[in-house]
Chains A and B, each alone.
Chain A
Amino acid sequence: MKPYEPLVTAWREQQRRPGRAFSLALGFLLAVCAFVGFSHLFNAERLAEDELLKRVGGYFAAFAPLPATGPATAPAELPQVKDAKEGFFANTVLTCLLPRSLTERLRALPGVADAVPVLMFRMRSDLGGHLFNLCGIDMSRPLVVGRTCCAPSEVKSGVFLGTATGTGGPGAMLDEGYASVHSYLVGDRIRIGAGEFTVTGIVDTGIRPVRGDVYLTWDDAARAMASSLGEPLGDRANIFLIEVESTTKQELAMLGVKNLMGGVINSYNCFRPASKVVGLNANAANILTAILYGIALLFGLKTQLAAVVERRREFGILRCIGWSDRVIGAQLVWEALLPALIGACAGGVLGIVIAKFAGTFVMTGAAAGMMPFDGGLVVKGIALALLGSALTGILAAIVARRSSPAEILRMI
């Protein structure tokens, strides 16, 4: 017998028993269709949610509160401040100054897309004596800064930090609230530390992990802080803005950063519940698919075993005329595989069609346009169906092998 002949014989068997072949194929069609369809729908939904979450929570700020505990936070003498209310604060927490080179190590962590250092110093104004937060921004990564701290699109008047020309000196960007309380307008002069700055822009950043009252470029801020403290800062930062690769990796990134810095992570609050919802949906899809596959496999196994019992005489005759258990087993496996293959292929195609069709009705907004065809899902669905059906075929072959041909013939 040529190697392909059990396949030919198995195909003939499907034609001899079309009802059984159809019901087996239908079972796998439904399972694979559900798998491919649901997976595509959930993938599209996940992409949409990811896109949404990216806009609201795909980033966070990390800092190490005093006293330092993390491996990256080498003990460093903090500059002495004249006023106890001044210092390197993040929200209400006094923080360590960390080497700016830590940025590279943070960027290399799993789940982290990018990182930028920030200087955040609470200081007292020489004019009026009020406290304000001075934020020094590393402008080498404007996109990350834009997503995590302040963006040009948030400028209410004037221009974004570092883009003003012809102002006749260094520029400062002010938070809208701060500017309003202290009556600053674009073009006004503001004294910070020992330096004089021109207000080049007023910005409303909304809710952000890092929010200052006055924004300066990194070098300007470092100089201003040094002049206020009376000593240089060195190349150090107290906050790192982290952008994650995706919201689903946010927790991984947070864990890595926390392990490295031993710090506190200030996440945008919306992230956590939203991320959990994404996870729940994916889990629901996986469980549903597993149940469907289980049903299809049990149905396939039942049908196969019923066929073996029903065809005991046939297998007995085949063994009487010299068919080996191996060949009968191979044929049973092919008989199980063929309807599974046909059903699974049809199910894969149908699943995509249904997902596309359902997507236009079920999904709205960003999700409606996000239904990427994932060939890998179809292949995975078919492979799972084939694997399961091969197992049922092997079980059926084991059952068939147990019968003695003479005994079968005697019983019939």
Chain B
Amino acid sequence: MSNVGPMIEAMNVRKAFRSGRREIPVLENVSLSVAPGEILVIKGRSGVGKSTLLSILGGLDLPDAGSICINGVEIGTLSQDDLATLRRKTVGIIFQNFNLLPSWNAVENVEAVLMHGDLDMAERRRRAVSWLERLGIGDRLENLPAELSVGQQQRVAVARTLVNEPTLILADEPTGDVDPETGAEIISHLKAAVRERGAALLVVTHGAYPIESGDRVLTLKNGVLEKSA
């Protein structure tokens, strides 16, 4: 773990959803921080708000209260364009349901993250292919997500996140739908990003992800973040 300032820091984050007049609290004064080179695992049962927390930390959603700083920048003050830039350059998100573009093939899905940068098309293709090959699906480059197995889709989603070399990786059940062997491969790639590039990794899981892989483990329960035993 590094001794420099946190890559991400959340302070007293609150979030509730409304259903008619009823307010359903999801997150209650959640505070956390992840330093560069650190892996934080947040575990919790389904429906406790893990994915919501990840969306808020990734700047996809706004909290009702509290603040989130990424790399020292308070993201609540950023415009939509600045948030997009932040997600593009700093944050990589692995979604629980992968969120692959259904009409784009595997390699195009991975390339999509690089399209905003300065890389030319050939270099983008080279990097995307390289990551898909490293994750063992180099032979399925031209397949649409619907033509891939769930595990293969998971690997495309991981490749899409890692190809851009983000310094903050937010992963929602990154090994939830793959066999143990593939899960281990994915974990090793995520860990490599942390160890080799000093990225911060925050994983939320209901238990599929091996918590021993984390430097710290917290539990989200009733909207409150607790230290795990």
Contacts and interface: CB of A to CB of B under 8 A. Distances in A.
Interface in A210-231: none
A318 B101 contact: yes
A322 B116 contact: yes
Interface string A233-259: 000000000000000000000000000
Contacts of B87: 320-322
Interface residues of B, number: 29
B93 A320 contact: yes
Interface string A310-336: 000110111111111111000000000
Contacts of B55: 406, 409-410
A405 B173 CA distance: 19
A410 B117 CA distance: 28
Interface stretch (B35-43, B69-77, B102-110): B102-110
A125 interface: no
Interface string B107-143: 0100011011100110000000000000000000000
A5 interface: yes
A322 B101 contact: no
Nearest to A8: B121
Contacts, number: 72
A82 interface: no
A322 B113 contact: yes
Given A320-B93, A323-B116, A327-B116, A17 B88 contact: no
**SS of A interface (majority):** helix
B117 A1 contact: yes
Interface string A83-100: 000000000000000000
Given A321-B112, A321-B113, A326 B103 contact: no
Given A9-B115, A322-B116, A323-B116, A406 B61 contact: yes
A16 interface: yes
A283 interface: no
Interface in B50-66: 55, 58, 60-61
Given A317-B99, A406-B61, A409-B95, A324 B84 contact: yes
Contact of B116 (A1, A320, A405): A1
B160 interface: yes
Interface in A124-178: none
B166 to A, nearest CB: 10
Considering the complex of A and B, which 7 residue pairs feature the smallest CB-CB distances, nearest first? A322-B88, A406-B61, A406-B60, A322-B87, A324-B84, A16-B103, A406-B55
Interface of A: 1-2, 5, 8-9, 12-13, 16-17, 313-314, 316-327, 404-407, 409-410
Interface of B: 55, 58, 60-61, 80-81, 84-89, 93, 95, 99-104, 108, 112-113, 115-117, 120-121, 160
